[in-house]
Amino acid sequence: MKKLLLLFLSSILLISCNQKQEKIIDNTQFSAEEKIDSTNIKTLFNSALTEGKSYEWLRDLTQNIGGRLSGSPEAEKAVIWGEKLMKEVGLDSVWLQPVMVPHWVRGEKEVATYTINNIQKDVPICALGFSIATPKTGILAEVIEVKSLKEAEEIGEKLRGKIIFFNGAFDNTIINTFQAYGGCAGQRYAGAMVCGKFGAKAVIVRSMTNSIDDYPHTGTMSYGDLPKEQYIPTAAISSRAAEILSADLKKDPTLKFYFKQNCETLADAPSFNVVGEIKGAKTPENIMVVGGHLDSWDLGEGAHDDGAGIVQSLEVAYLFKKNNIKLKNTLRVVFFMNEENGIRGALKYAELAKLNKEKHIAGLESDEGGHTPRGFSIDANTVNTKLLQSWKKLLTPYGLHDLDKGSSGADISPLKAENVTLVGYKPDSQRYFDYHHSSTDTFDKVNKRELELGSASMASIIYLMDKYLYSNTPVKP
């Protein structure tokens, strides 16, 4: 009974503290203009959390279309879906930008095995994007384990005739998992490039994830400038399989690994960026872009990467229309095609913007998943960086504490210029690489409330950029 009473009193105290915190937030000393901004931002969040559309849009995209690798029939369906949805939201104009994209296909499901102590072990494996296939009978060879590209280079000629196993794991002491990913993704991208020139037979890499699980994660690889005769098959194995293989190699350094894959790079295929806009009320010649990438890898449904970014970007426009908030600059929503294996859509968009002499003043990209909002990274000149950081008191009540200088995103980065402010939306990163580029990136992994909070967060910074960004004259750092 005493424990129950203490628990009840603790709950009352917690509720009281929360209510006081809400009061502190509500009573923050704002200027007259900031009070208007605070009210409008609250309206955007209220609308997203009670009348948001992003979650059901994402359900439709992932469940009825699924993975959308560039050049695939699913990518084509996604373009049709995106154009139709933008028109339904009521954007002022919607159009398609043609772009030729790479067309790599996985083919029949990959297989991998090895035997140790007369026990055959099946290995979860998937081909990496742009890899060549193995011979029809597969590849069988001894394995050399390395932890980095540098280590492989140092071994050199001893790699000949072997399968090279890159087992560089994430540094899990790094809090931001994107930094941990950046620390080892090079072995996936350039492993074959390094090992092919030494006559290696194939490359397998540990999947790029913090988790230890049975799901292989794909991603793009490259042969660089290697002549075609030095191209070698390249695949990823699951992180758990990597742990087990590493342990088994210590027991039997001569064990032979077998795998077979059937992938192929076809001729470039026609596709499109999907573009829609709301014309600005005062300075329509100034364009602010908000977007994500419509394509995804083929193993899952492309829910976090980057279905979430797509629906959040469109919901930004929906929230302004829903609440009759008029922007002075033009808001342009872009569903970019081919971020995953080429950024052809981003390059085409920037090329056309330059050709048409369009004036972009800002860009916002969502391509880090649909988890809880944490803030934004800013790629801008010194004046505008400080301007965005000055909005922290308006954004922190919604958990948007991080307003740091950094990169924006692959699809808007080609727009970079001295007076263009680029921003990357930053949700919590801790779960993202559980799903990234794998079969587990599915709709059920996305939380409705987190997704909607992200939409509102993005709408809020667009609202502030629209209102204040060029009231101050940008200057060179």
Phi and psi torsions of 360, nearest 5°? -90, 130
> In whole angstroms, what is the distance from residue 149 CA to residue 189 CA?
10
**Which residue in the list 110, 277, 339, 452 is annotated as catalytic?**
339
Strand partners of residue 335: 274, 292
Cβ atoms of residues 141 and 114 within 8 Å: no
Residue 440: count of CB within 10 angstroms of its CB: 20
Burial of 264 (0-12, 13-18, 19+ CB in 10 A): middle
> In whole angstroms, what is the distance from residue 142 CA to residue 160 CA?
10
Cβ atoms of residues 373 and 400 within 8 Å: yes
Burial of 200 (0-12, 13-18, 19+ CB in 10 A): buried
Cβ atoms of residues 313 and 333 within 8 Å: yes
Q: Return the axis-axis angle of helices 73-89 and 308-322, rounded to nearest 10°.
A: 10
Pairing mode, if any, of strands 283-293 and 139-146? unpaired
> In whole angstroms, what is the distance from residue 150 CA to residue 167 CA?
13
Model pLDDT for residues 389-448, shown as the tens digit of each residue: 999 999 999 999 999 999 999 999 999 999 999 999 999 999 999 999 999 999 999 999
Q: What is the pLDDT of residue 26?
A: 54
Low pLDDT (below 70) residues in the chain: 1-28, 471-477
> In whole angstroms, what is the distance from residue 93 CA to residue 274 CA?
11
- Tokens standing for residue 474: 């940008």
> In whole angstroms, what is the distance from residue 164 CA to residue 184 CA?
16
Pairing mode, if any, of strands 111-116 and 256-260? antiparallel
Measured in whole angstroms, how far is the alpha carbon of residue 303 from the centre of its chain? 10
> In whole angstroms, what is the distance from residue 113 CA to residue 111 CA?
7
Question: Residue 97 contacts by C-beta under 8 Å, 6 or more apart in sequence?
Answer: 272, 273, 275, 345, 348, 349, 352
Largest CA distance in the chain: 77
Is 450 one of the annotated active-site residues of the chain?
A: no
> In whole angstroms, what is the distance from residue 187 CA to residue 127 CA?
14
Q: What is the pTM of this model?
A: 0.93
Burial of 10 (0-12, 13-18, 19+ CB in 10 A): exposed
Q: What is the pLDDT of residue 470?
A: 73
Residue 199: count of CB within 10 angstroms of its CB: 13
Which runs of E-coded beta strand occur in 173-255? 202-206, 234-237
End-to-end CA distance of the chain: 65
Give the SS3 label for residue 185.
helix
Question: Residue 172 contacts by C-beta under 8 Å, 6 or more apart in sequence?
Answer: 180, 210
Cβ atoms of residues 233 and 133 within 8 Å: yes
Give the SS3 label for residue 462.
helix
Question: Residue 435 contacts by C-beta under 8 Å, 6 or more apart in sequence?
Answer: 300, 303, 304, 305, 369, 441, 442, 445
Q: Closest Cα to residue 57, out of 295, 320, 315?
A: 315
Q: Closest Cα to residue 396, out of 457, 343, 320, 341?
A: 457
The enclosing H or E element of 63 equals helix 54-64
Q: Closest Cα to residue 245, out of 354, 152, 332, 121?
A: 121
Pairing mode, if any, of strands 402-405 and 373-379? parallel
Residue 1: count of CB within 10 angstroms of its CB: 5
Strand partners of residue 359: 286
- Tokens standing for residue 477: 């750092």
